[in-house]
């Protein structure tokens, strides 16, 4: 089974990806997808976007840049830039449910314009820029209804995509409700391109359930699961087997502490601001707390901390509380 890290805007940037690979990935994450860059006519790329795609920030890990665009010309300009940096694959974002994005018919909003999407893919994939470049799409199964995916998949089938990464929710679901596995299984049967699953794999049990439901699928993408439960790569047993594996709770807690300490120190170095780095870490701990219930007191200390000393004390209490529960 191939394992991918999803591009979570504001979370899985290059600092997170490198720290994750050091403490957890260790060569077992097949692809790290970079949160989207958004080419435009009026201004250049943000500092975040530039830092994320710089090859020197992605040494030793297989990173796939993601582009959010509905203009083929802008997409191809970005693709040419990325190709010049040495990237061999690009992913198109057709899943972002943000209202500001969707209102501009980008991300999941582009799904509402199937004719324009078809024309976009035709222009992009017939361009000389894409010679020797692979292109994949990360898509939801519709804007408002899963019925929309019948036409969308027909469009994807007309093009030689390296893979179709399917998050079987519609845009209006955001991240609520549950992924529609019947729609996904139908897509696996009907797709002319390789299919990757994305959605709600948070634990080893979730992973096992998916592999039993869709044994023919050979690739999955995890997002929130990697952030909130970073040890999941160990729990699913070197990509393929989980049965018989028992996690060492104390060791897992210690690794989490080292991982989050590394993240904090690297954010301080990159951002050159301890307070901003601490706030960045609070976002990560929101995810971690969701997957480690019963540590509310310690999490509240982390969340309410104003100084690094308060933050570190809260993290220490959280980790020690985890050890007590194992």
What one-character DSSP code corresponds to residue 25?
I
Nearest C-alpha neighbor of 70 from the set 36, 98, 93, 42? 93
- Give the mean pLDDT of the chain: 94
pLDDT single digits (tens) 116-149: 999 999 999 999 999 999 999 999 999 999 999 9
* For residues 62-87, average pLDDT: 97
Long-range CB contacts for residues 254-260, cutoff 8 Å, separation at least 24: 254/319, 255/23, 255/24, 255/231, 256/230, 256/231, 256/288, 256/319, 256/322, 257/315, 257/316, 257/319, 258/23, 259/19, 259/20, 259/23, 259/24, 259/230, 260/284, 260/285, 260/288, 260/315
Q: What is the pLDDT of residue 202?
A: 94
Q: What is the pLDDT of residue 236?
A: 85
Q: How far is CA 258 from CA 20, 27, 123, 262, 312, in A?
A: 11, 19, 47, 6, 12
**Per-domain boundaries in the chain:** 2-235, 249-325
Least confident of 150-159, 165-174, 184-193, 237-246: 237-246
C-beta separation of 268 from 285 below 8 A? no
- Is domain 2-235 classified as CATH 3.40.50.1110? no
- What's the residue count for the chain? 326
C-beta separation of 191 from 181 below 8 A? no
Nearest C-alpha neighbor of 302 from the set 324, 318, 291, 290? 318
Q: What is the share, in percent, of the chain residues with pLDDT greater than 70?
A: 96
* For residues 7-34, average pLDDT: 97
Other residues' Cβ atoms within 10 Å of the Cβ of residue 166: 29
More confident residue, 16 or 234: 16
pLDDT single digits (tens) 214-254: 999 999 999 999 999 999 998 886 444 444 445 677 888 99
Bridge pairing between strands 63-67 and 31-37: parallel
* For residues 201-221, average pLDDT: 95
Answer yes or no: pTM beyond 0.75: yes
Residue 102 φ then ψ, to 5°: -65, -35
Element (H, E) at 266: helix 249-271
Q: What is the pLDDT of residue 238?
A: 43
């Amino acid at each position: 089974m191939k394992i991918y890290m999803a591009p979570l805007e504001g979370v899985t940037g290059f600092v997170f990806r490198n720290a994750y690979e050091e403490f957890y990935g260790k060569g077992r994450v097949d692809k790290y997808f970079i949160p989207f860059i958004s080419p435009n006519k009026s201004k250049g790329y943000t500092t975040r976007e530039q830092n994320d795609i710089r090859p020197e920030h992605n040494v030793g890990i297989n990173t796939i840049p993601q582009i959010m665009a509905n203009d083929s010309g802008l997409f191809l300009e970005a693709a040419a830039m990325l190709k010049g940096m040495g990237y061999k694959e690009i992913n198109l974002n057709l899943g972002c449910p943000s209202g500001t994005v969707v209102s501009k018919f980008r991300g999941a909003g582009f799904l509402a314009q199937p004719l324009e999407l078809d024309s976009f893919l035709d222009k992009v994939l017939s361009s000389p820029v894409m010679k020797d470049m692979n292109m994949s799409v990360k898509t939801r199964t519709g804007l408002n209804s899963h019925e929309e995916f019948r036409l969308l998949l027909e469009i994807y089938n007309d093009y030689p995509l390296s893979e179709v990464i399917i998050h079987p929710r519609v845009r209006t679901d955001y991240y609520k409700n549950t992924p529609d596995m019947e729609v996904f299984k139908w897509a696996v049967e009907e797709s002319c391109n390789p299919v990757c699953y994305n959605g709600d794999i948070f634990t080893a049990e979730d992973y096992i359930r998916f592999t039993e439901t869709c044994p023919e699928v050979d690739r999955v993408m995890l997002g929130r699961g990697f952030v909130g439960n970073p040890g999941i790569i160990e729990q699913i047993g070197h990509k393929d087997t989980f049965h018989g594996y028992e996690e060492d709770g104390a060791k897992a807690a210690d690794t989490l502490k080292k991982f989050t300490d590394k993240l904090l120190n690297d954010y301080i170095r990159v951002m050159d601001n301890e307070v901003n780095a601490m706030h960045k870490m609070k976002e990560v701990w929101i995810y971690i707390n969701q997957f480690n219930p019963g540590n509310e007191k310690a999490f509240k200390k982390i969340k309410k901390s104003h100084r690094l000393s308060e933050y570190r004390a809260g993290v220490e209490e959280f980790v020690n509380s985890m050890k007590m529960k194992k």
